[in-house]
Amino acid sequence: MAKYTFTLPRYASDSLTQEVEAAALGATLLGITSLENEGTLEFDGDLTSEAQAVLAAVVAAHKGIPLPPPARSVVLDSPKTDDGKPVFDIYPGTAGFYTWITGHGDDPNPTPPATGRGTGTPLILEFTAEEIPATKSLEFQFNDPVEIHDGQIVWRDPANWSHLDSFSVGFKVPASVAVPNATGTGNCNKMPVGPGINAIIPANGDGAYDISPEGRHPVEDRQKQGAFWDNDYATGAVTPHPVPGRGKYNLFDVDLSGWLVRNIHTTHPKGVFDIDVYKVEYFHPSWRLFWEARKETPGAGVLGAWIFCFRRITT
């Protein structure tokens, strides 16, 4: 046996052992011991001068970092194919939300017992030959929260559409409506946040305004700048957060809007545009989707669409 001692202020036995064995020094490492700043490596035989030089270099380069723990074996409790491979269900929707495919928005004012789901505005824009050129649009909504996944827009007759024609899809968040409270006992106040824009802040019975549950149209605080309201993901109910500034949503007294699909030209020879994504976008029942199309190519034409969503109630 042979022992070689080095200055070794810190070391990890497992990683140093691996590094020494990988150097293939011609003798087997039996063990490593240390005392204060010195470390002794014991081998089952003498090392050549060349091997000793390599060992010295290995020890000098050692960083004292232990090896990562071994990988853990994970057993999936899931259905399996005949050859034993696990079956995965890739479901982008939230648990408790179910598939909803529709070519209509919801009717916001249904006659009970009707729910209005899927019986509102049809997703169709129709142009007659006589009115070209023209721009047409429609707006629709859902009566309860949905998660929008994807969809499709088609146009007929494709021969009557060209690069001169286009469509866009956007969203609107209507202004939250707070009304003055003459006695100063309201449930909210307004706080200026920009030219002509006020945030509506909860008050504890001493506010200058009142806002009803129906007048609360939440906007997510994605910039994490401080929010005052919570939104129940499943029902859309908006309530004050118990800690001011720590909520997830704000309310504003102006209309807000943005684009999701902008100026797509109707050039596909089969007259189809697929919106195929791998995530979902939450959509509050107070928000609105709108669809706009511009047609300049001569001839009549129709655009139709359907949307693939997930929603909690599908009746």
**Between the CA of residue 65 and those of 15, 16, 62, what are the distances in Å?**
7, 9, 8
- What is the per-residue pLDDT for 86? 79
Q: What are phi and psi of 116, to 5 degrees?
A: 85, -5
- From CA 143, how far away is CA 117, in angstroms rounded? 7
Residue 218, pLDDT score: 98
Query: For the chain, how big is the Rg over CA atoms in Å?
Result: 33
- Does the pTM surpass 0.85? The reply is no
Question: What is the pLDDT tens value at each position of the chain, 315 positions in all?
Answer: 899 999 888 888 899 999 999 999 999 999 998 888 889 999 999 999 999 999 999 999 998 899 998 888 777 677 888 888 877 777 889 999 999 999 999 999 999 999 999 999 999 999 999 999 999 999 999 999 999 999 999 999 999 999 999 999 999 999 999 999 999 999 999 999 999 999 999 999 999 999 999 999 999 999 888 999 999 999 999 999 999 999 999 999 999 999 999 999 999 999 999 988 888 999 999 999 999 999 999 999 999 999 999 999 998
Say if residues 308 and 153 touch (Cβ distance below 8 Å): no
Closest C-alpha among 315, 312, 306, 37 to residue 152: 306
**Which pLDDT score is estimated for 236?**
96
Nearest in space to 121 (alpha carbons), one of 136, 110, 107 = 107
Find out whether 145 and 299 touch, Cβ atoms under 8 Å: no
Q: What is the pLDDT of residue 207?
A: 97
Contact 216, 197 (CB under 8 A): no
Residue 225: per-residue pLDDT: 86
Q: Is 159 helix (H, G, I), strand (E, B) or coil?
A: helix
